[in-house]
Structure 1
Amino acid sequence: MKRQDFYFELPEELIAQDPLEDRSSSRLLVLDKHTGEVTHHVFREITEYLNPGDCLVINDTKVIPARLIGNKEGTGAKVEVLLLKRKENDVWETLVKPGRKMKPGARLSFGDGLLTGEVLEVVEEGNRLIRFSYQGIFEEILDQLGQMPLPPYITHQLEDKNRYQTVYAKHSGSAAAPTAGLHFTPELLEKIKEKGVEIAHVTLHVGLGTFRPVKADDILEHHMHSEFYRIEASEAEKINHAKDSGHRVICVGTTSCRTVESAAGDDGRLKECSGWTEIFIYPGYEFKILDGLITNFHLPESTLIMLVSALAGREHVLAAYEEAVKEKYRFFSFGDACLII
């Protein structure tokens, strides 16, 4: 299967740069995964497509302000550090720019020395392990000094950090938001519950591999970055109950999808678990748990458009995307939504 099979033309002006004032007023394209039929709505009308007994799976990860701007001690050169994975208490795997000059032993300073770091070693793909030193609580310092790690196609920082968090964000650890969840408001979630839809929480800390382009011509040669996930027993039971009673499991976002599909047993059931996943879902994959998906519009040739193509078929997805471009839907993290059922 070739990377180019998932290419489509996307005018740059359709890449959303800012979130809407009202989260639930985004547009919603509904795609029938069986027929390819497309209809157009407003996101808050999602309730019309959810039935009593269905289970909506949301990812309650919280984005940390993981982008730090500082200086290299000795030279004063500007340096940007992106926190990717916590290895142990104060040691993080990071992405550093510029990377070439950041050799083991290099020392960095942030916020006039409020936070300092020492490069310990170079790890795969040029990432760096850095040990941080500080007085007080790391999370509080990070909140003071860090910026939201917005995707590379967003060209300015947010005025309100919370607009890059879902309203149900709870467990800190993501380097990127599970953006399909950005469309929900507390009021909309309440309406969904009132309709008799069960809401299950899972956690997957989104890594920057989400934005990593597929470079291999043969997509099977692409390697996914690992991401940490957790499912509590009570939430696994909600999902199992929906499946057992013949109702649908609809995941909010590709991250929730990757979580439940990674954790599913051979019998198609979930239990309490946690671990690391490198799951890569592309056409030909047989879903064990997921029946439907709420997601944003993804980059051409990305692993995410491959995932949605596994659910609805490549031809249906590319035709729906062509329609979305024609109708001037907003694309990517702050863009509009798509429901595939």
Structure 2
Amino acid sequence: MNRINMFFDKSTQFSIIAALFLLSSCGDKKAGQMPALPPVPVTIEAVQVTDASYHDEYPATVTALDVVELRPQVSGFITGVHFSDGSRVRKGQLLYSIDTQLYEANYDQAVANLNVQEANLAKAQKDANRFQELAKNDAVAKQLVDNADAALEVAKKQVEASKANIKGVQTNVRYTKVYAPFDGTIGISLVKKGAAVTAGQTILNTVSTDNQLAVDFNVDQKDIYYFSNLIQKGKANNDSTFTLAFGGDIYPHTGKILLMDRAVDPQTGTIKTRLAFPNPKNLLRSGMTGTVRVLSTSSKAVVIPYKAISEQLGEFFVYVPGDSSKVTQKRVHLGTALGTNIIVKEGLKEGDKIVVEGIQNLREGAVYTTEVPSATPAKK
């Protein structure tokens, strides 16, 4: 009996607990909802357009307009290096000498062979003349006359071949001297005196122009028309459209646009553009990296405060007021920063309204208010 009472008591307790749980779950549903967020106080302004002068910036690489790898055209041993590494050289300046003994010996042999062939030609000419005279008196067989004429032609061809051989050997002798192909700067020599070099294979050094250097940078394909117009106008060297910067330092000379590449790179959607900068003090060196600054002016530039911009996954947005006092995000394409403001290239136009204060508390669809919240009185 006591066990039954104990079981009943426990069952009764369980039923009471279950009933209380059901009552609590069936209560007012509003009690379980999140309280509505209060409107976010913001400041809204209309977008204005203004005159602006700014620089578009592009990563750039300095490169030589002309660059040549020096290779020997004959094989042999280096007998002389006639310059200082990294120095400026002039067109036609002697740079390297290669051992000439073999090639001079070949030349002497070619000259001697020519002398022999010329002597043979003289004898063949005399024989031909003699047989021609005898033939006039029918004192010799026609076959012998023909043979003499043929021998004369062979002797002439052999002389021509010997002369051609001399020209080839003379060329090899000249190729034992390596000269600068143009004015420029030569690099550090890759071979020393006594080194063996192979014709057409061994790289001796590199020479590049230095009085004027090229600066290459990539522009978006949508800007091709603008840069093509600059090429057609033939911007002068004293024009300030193109400048070059290295960190915080501005190169003291302005550049001139030369050309655009043949085609757009389908992988990046950009096209290589080339400028030329004078280099009178040799401050520019091939391989340097810097920033090309392209001066642009606009009479109707859309400029907004930079603080109105929000960034998400590499894209930029502004908040614009919508219906029911809610904000929506609008994507924009940014241009150059102007102090605390920034140029908007795409996405906004004059008269559009945007949120310029309070964006840190906003999200898509958030309710906003332009009313200034009243100060909460301090508790006594």
The answer to whether the superposition gives a TM-score over 0.5 is no
**Greater C-alpha Rg:** 2
* TM-score (normalised: structure 2): 0.20
* TM-score (normalised: structure 1): 0.21
